[in-house]
Amino acid sequence: MNCAQACRLALYNANLILQNDTTSPLFTQRELLSWANEASNKIEKALRTNDEDFNLVLRSSTDSDFRWDGMNYDPSDFGLTTTARSYTLPPDVLVLRRIRSLTTGEEARKFRHVDLSHPDFVAAEQVASTDTTAGEILWDQTGERTLRVQAPPDTALDIEIAYIPRSRKLQLYTTGTITIAQDAAALIGTSTLWVDDEVNPFAEFIPGATTVSTAPKVASQTTGGTWVDPSRFYNWVSAFTTDTAGTLIGNWLVAALTGTTGYMIASRFPFPPEHAHLVADYVAHRCLKKVRSADQVGFKESFDMGLEELIADTSERQTADPTFVDDFQYD
């Protein structure tokens, strides 16, 4: 289930309870997506309660440039030099966890995280900036995006950093039109800005739909239409290489789509799909809360209970002893 499907399911449930048969929708797509983002952030936070490394990102100083939240970034900016003590981290870094050397012959180089106020760090900081060390490298993350080392290494080092990323906002992207041939994986956009608008390829391609739902009335929501189907499996996106070129995971197996076809790129959730129903519960709760319906309580309780179960389940998995199975012997 992607974020559009979760919003669609929430909208249907809310309209069903309200028996909404007005000609205008009660909730905007912007509202639905905002509430889905709230729910997603709460679920990510819950998953990190018992697993600090949930959704950990690995990035190398030799990786290609990338764009995040309007900022272009060159990962070579955090490669260690023999002169600098401070480096700018990628814009999506929330918490830096670990560092390791990738430079040939320097793979065993030790890195240790200590606070800037630690006596070891303070003592090393007093060494002249031209001094170098072939030993252990102490580091700390200062501010939002600064990596600080106690002294430059004796040789330049390519490094890999492991970090908890900032949450990327869920997207429902519909700009332009789409063309895709049958039995092909290439998405061809017209008037699309997939790279410039930072459309996250961790998403699904929904053909024909440009809104979560075009049916504001309960009566018309069960009769078909060009809206998102909560129960359907949609093609996953692999990458967007330019503003007008993308790739699906697997080929498009049904009839070709022409350049006049509307579409939606809907973000997948940054957590296992079995938890996606919690987003639908939360969005339904916010829909009903907006119109002061007492029924919002039930969806909020369902979301809170699901979140508690999620935390308990992840806690059990983190603390459980491993189970070993004896080799199966054939007769």
- What gap in Å lies between CA 96 and CA 119, rounded to an integer? 21
pLDDT of residue 49: 81
pLDDT of residue 22: 63
Give 133's DSSP letter.
Answer: B
Displacement of CA 52 from its chain's centroid (Å): 16
Tell me the pLDDT band of 232, cut-offs 50, 70 and 90.
confident
Of the ranges 98-107, 181-190, 316-325, which one carries the lowest mean pLDDT score?
A: 316-325
Strands 159-165 and 146-149, by their bridges, are unpaired
The size of the chain, in residues, is: 331
User: What pLDDT digit, counting tens, does each position of 251-263 carry?
Assistant: 999 899 988 788 9
Tell me the pLDDT band of 330, cut-offs 50, 70 and 90.
very low
3-state secondary structure of 55: coil
Question: Domain limits of the chain?
Answer: 3-52+168-311, 70-165
pLDDT of residue 318: 54
Element (H, E) at 212: none
- What gap in Å lies between CA 114 and CA 166, rounded to an integer? 22
Q: Which two tokens stand for residue 322?
A: 């491993």
